[in-house]
Structure 1
Amino acid sequence: MTRKFFGTDGIRGRTNSDKMTASTAMCIGQAAGAHFRRGTHRNRVVIGKDTRLSGYMVESALVAGFTSVGMDVIMTGPLPTPAIAMLTHEMRADLGVMISASHNPYEDNGIKLFGPDGFKLSDEDEMAIEALMDERPQLAEPQDIGRARRIEDARGRYIHAVKQSIGPDVRFDDLKVVVDCAHGAAYQVAPSAIWELGAEVITLGVTPNGTNINDGVGSTSLDAIKAKVVESGADIGIALDGDADRLILIDEKGRTVDGDQIMALIATRMMEKGTLRGGGVVATVMSNLGLERYLAGIGLTLERTKVGDRHVLERMKQGGFNIGGEQSGHMILLDHATTGDGTVAALRVLSSLVRANRPASELLHLFDPVPQLLKNVRYDGGEPLQAQSVGKAIADGEAELAGRGRLVIRASGTEPLIRVMAEGDDAAQVERVVDSICDAVRAVA
């Protein structure tokens, strides 16, 4: 069955066009509600969102859909994606929904669904919901229509939970931390959690207005936080994305620390404490070869999956791993969260800074990444990767890098982009291979 709505991370698109309309959101609520309605208890769904203007519209449409099929709705207001996953499980809800397009601009929005265990839905559940969207909804009888209410303690619950992810003896009293929340879902909770643990907190991206999410701030726009870290003499900078499931760090010298280095640090510390499970780390095909070599050097493995934190999580559960993530900043620490949680990962790094009493520039540079280049080519339609000329360019690139590097070509699951990545010890060769493939894609795009 071909997917019409669900992509690599839920449903995402430009608001009031494509897949993200009020009518589609209501239909999703009706279909997902019908699929997860079970037992004789009052079924309930937890709905959270980021700070996009369109969140009001999508939230209202989802509420209409869920209540129309007999599900009660609990609304939290703006909260990080991992907070909704946590609350879904803790409140014994039958389903959780996060309204967010993550790092995308405000014009886009998305819908992420979580099962009653707090984990993202399986392919089978998503396909079942899509099938129900094509059917006439089974509406509840008038006396069985669901109720909707907002809760006021959701932020406090989440702040308490993330603070419990580090040892009770750890305080950040001597740290100065810049926290950039991208004008997004964590604009209240992330600075509060870090401040309550004793740090001096300098904030960026904490004044959302509905249209400024990810605009010049956050994990995909690092110039502002780099400047603020250096200017203020901070020990470290924490950059989250719009829904706060992603983390990029800035060391005290203003240099970027990506997800690969963060995973290397956390895995090393867990191995030293004897809490690492699975014998290594799960990451995607995009993680740098330098990470793989570093982990091998300390006796750990790097398991690679397709791009997408859901694929990482599936492999973690299969292999008994408790740490995984993506170079782009998704950090999944299964001992503390059921999905990527930028704030939890940040607290683990801050804890390591305190215990090691070393600067971030030393602690967070455990390996030298090999030259890696990623370029995106936008296309208007069709399937550029199926073109014979593109296939030949890819084959030529693989032959040139054979034994000396890696090549990863894929279509984005959220945007009309072909992503071309190569890495190897020879930077000039890597750039030549990437440019050749990009040129071939542009010629047919």
Structure 2
Amino acid sequence: MRKYFGTDGVRGRVGEFPMTPDFAMKLGWAAGQVLGAGGVKEVLIGKDTRASGYMLESALEAGFSAAGVNVALVGPLPTPGIAYLTSTFRADVGVVISASHNPFDDNGIKIFAQGGHKLTDKQEQDIERWLQVALEGGMTCVSSDKLGKARRIDDAAGRYTEYCKANLPGHLSLNGLKIVVDSANGAAYKVAPAVYRELGAELISIHASPNGLNINEHCGATSMESLRDAVVEHQADLGIALDGDADRLMMVDHTGSVVDGDELLYLLAKDAKASGYTGGVVGTQMTNLGLEQALEALDIPFLRAKVGDRYVMEQLKATGWRLGGEGSGHLLSLDHASTGDAIIASLRVLTCLLQQGTVLFDGKQGMQKLPQTLINVRFKAEEGVDPLEASQVQGVLSEVEAELCQNGRVLLRKSGTEPLIRVMVEALDANQARQCAERIASVLGG
């Protein structure tokens, strides 16, 4: 079991354990022990636009240096950009300082292994063992002649921009498209507008003025209102929303309707199937049943993984399939990127639309999302007691599942970060989904 790593690195409120300078330094040292073993190595460190990124960057740099690992600093850059550069620079480790879609007063530390791939559970467990040594006062320092050195990479953003642009086929252009891009005042605030503009789009850029405190604030992939308004106001062809570290993608069609990750994944899978793709698609436990049904109609296999794009990736590796994602906008297209990349995913969607001569509104047709209700129920954690196993809960769960039959779905899962049980119900009718979710939540909360 991992104590500090969640589904996407270590995360928390800045200034509170574990998001403190001391912890970050010791985490860097521990990661250096595991991933930098066997001689002088190099780690690439990037961040989003949070004010706390400077503090954590310095602490991580000190920890890696003490472990004898060289450090290359790239500044603000999307998480997938760090994954890409970790591979192209042949670095042994890549680190992103970001809390993704969370508010500015949270932060996190994500670590990539060689090749830009997320760490395995075993690697994280190994790091935690060394981290525990450091937290208990056992952190050491290599001799002065073996300390890691630090350098800055000035052209990182330009390199990543060109890499993204290469994902639109050379015979295509965005000329004639009016696109609104919401960068969430985050890590892609320079890169994303540059990519679409240099590919020929008429661009309206919003939320691209970070001040260290406004990342994800009423903007980006988790707050779509301003993008919807801007698309309608400017009569744009579509809108693109990224989150704070640009690994989530949500879009808006020309009518102002939001197109989420499940719908975008359907569009990509449908196009891949038409182009000869014979593999399947991996979603998660939260993937809308409508996507599963739509893929079944296209004779495309579908599997569900645990929530979190790392688990989607594990299933893709196990099956050899190339497409997967989450409704929240984490999309994996392994023929084009080693991790979830919102900018590249958007270019894949645009490629599909341009080649088919259609618009986003039409491209998503063929999938009918089922209404979904999600309720978070707080519970009192007691050792040896699982509230999901209570007879009352199991009783009402059986009743609801019998009522929904094949026309809906129930998912109960515990939060990995706080004492909450997430109650999710899908049904053909929105009122039925809400009423069933409330019935289950009332028993859990009782």
> Considering the TM-score relative to the shorter chain, is it more than 0.5?
yes
- When residues 385 and 61 of structure 1 are mapped into structure 2, their CA distance, relative to the original with a 3 A threshold, is farther
Which amino acid in structure 2 is aligned with residue 9 of structure 1?
D
Q: Does 1:126 align with 2:124?
A: yes
Separation (CA, whole Å) in 1 of partners of 2:91 and 2:432: 52
What does residue 369 of structure 1 align with? 369
What does residue 13 of structure 2 align with? 14
What does residue 104 of structure 1 align with? 102
Distance apart, 1:399 and its partner CA? 3.7
Which amino acid in structure 2 is aligned with residue 114 of structure 1?
F
Separation (CA, whole Å) in 1 of partners of 2:274 and 2:104: 42
Aligned counterparts, 1:226-237, within 5 A: 226-237=228-239
3-state SS in 2 of match to 1:165: coil
Which amino acid in structure 2 is aligned with residue 33 of structure 1?
G
Specify which of 43, 46, 65 is matched with residue 45 of structure 1: 43
What does residue 436 of structure 1 align with? 439
Residue identity (%):
47
User: Deviations along 1:279-304, whole A, 9 cap, x unmatched?
Assistant: 22111111111111111111111111
Distance apart, 1:359 and its partner CA? 2.5
Deviates more, 1:92-101 or 1:363-372: 363-372
User: Deviations along 1:155-194, whole A, 9 cap, x unmatched?
Assistant: 1111111111221111000100000011011111111111
Q: Does 1:3 align with 2:5?
A: no
Distance apart, 1:355 and its partner CA? 2.2
What does residue 70 of structure 1 align with? 68
3-state SS in 2 of match to 1:315: helix
Aligned counterparts, 1:8-407, within 5 A: 8-40=7-39, 42-135=40-133, 136-274=138-276, 276-277=277-278, 279-378=279-378, 385-386=387-388, 388=390, 389-407=392-410
Distance apart, 1:205 and its partner CA? 1.2
Separation (CA, whole Å) in 1 of partners of 2:53 and 2:402: 47
Which amino acid in structure 2 is aligned with residue 356 of structure 1?
Q
2:27·2:63 contact (CA, 8 Å) conserved in 1?
Answer: yes
Aligned residues: 439
Deviates more, 1:9-18 or 1:353-362: 353-362
3-state SS in 1 of match to 2:180: strand
Deviates more, 1:250-259 or 1:377-386: 377-386
2:17·2:23 contact (CA, 8 Å) conserved in 1?
Answer: no
Distance apart, 1:409 and its partner CA? 1.4
User: Deviations along 1:33-89, whole A, 9 cap, x unmatched?
Assistant: 01012334x300001111111111111110110001100001111111111111111
Separation (CA, whole Å) in 2 of partners of 1:271 and 1:101: 35
Separation (CA, whole Å) in 2 of partners of 1:380 and 1:199: 52
Q: Does 1:421 align with 2:420?
A: no
Deviates more, 1:70-79 or 1:413-422: 413-422
Per the normalisation by structure 2, the TM-score is 0.94
2:184·2:216 contact (CA, 8 Å) conserved in 1?
Answer: yes
- When residues 441 and 58 of structure 1 are mapped into structure 2, their CA distance, relative to the original with a 3 A threshold, is farther
1:225·1:239 contact (CA, 8 Å) conserved in 2?
Answer: yes
2:14·2:105 contact (CA, 8 Å) conserved in 1?
Answer: yes
2:371·2:427 contact (CA, 8 Å) conserved in 1?
Answer: yes
Which amino acid in structure 2 is aligned with residue 117 of structure 1?
G
Separation (CA, whole Å) in 1 of partners of 2:168 and 2:322: 15
3-state SS in 2 of match to 1:73: strand
2:238·2:251 contact (CA, 8 Å) conserved in 1?
Answer: yes
2:8·2:308 contact (CA, 8 Å) conserved in 1?
Answer: yes
Distance apart, 1:415 and its partner CA? 4.9
3-state SS in 1 of match to 2:220: coil
- The RMSD of aligned alpha carbons is 1.7
Which amino acid in structure 2 is aligned with residue 179 of structure 1?
V
Deviates more, 1:310-319 or 1:333-342: 333-342
Distance apart, 1:384 and its partner CA? 7.0
Separation (CA, whole Å) in 1 of partners of 2:149 and 2:402: 60
3-state SS in 2 of match to 1:117: helix
What does residue 412 of structure 1 align with? 415
Unaligned ranges ≥5, structure 2: none
Distance apart, 1:439 and its partner CA? 2.5
2:322·2:333 contact (CA, 8 Å) conserved in 1?
Answer: yes
User: Deviations along 1:75-132, whole A, 9 cap, x unmatched?
Assistant: 1111111111111111111111111111111111111111012110000000010011
Separation (CA, whole Å) in 1 of partners of 2:380 and 2:250: 31
Separation (CA, whole Å) in 1 of partners of 2:202 and 2:226: 18
- Any runs of at least 4 consecutive aligned residues in structure 1 with deviations exceeding 6 A, and if so which? none
User: Deviations along 1:259-294, whole A, 9 cap, x unmatched?
Assistant: 1110111111122222x35x2211111111111111
Which amino acid in structure 1 is aligned with residue 293 of structure 2?
R
Which amino acid in structure 1 is aligned with residue 425 of structure 2?
A
Unaligned ranges ≥5, structure 1: none
1:384·1:390 contact (CA, 8 Å) conserved in 2?
Answer: no
- When residues 380 and 340 of structure 1 are mapped into structure 2, their CA distance, relative to the original with a 3 A threshold, is farther
User: Deviations along 1:232-275, whole A, 9 cap, x unmatched?
Assistant: 0000000111111000100000001011110111111122222x
Which amino acid in structure 1 is aligned with residue 443 of structure 2?
A
- When residues 242 and 416 of structure 1 are mapped into structure 2, their CA distance, relative to the original with a 3 A threshold, is farther
1:261·1:366 contact (CA, 8 Å) conserved in 2?
Answer: no
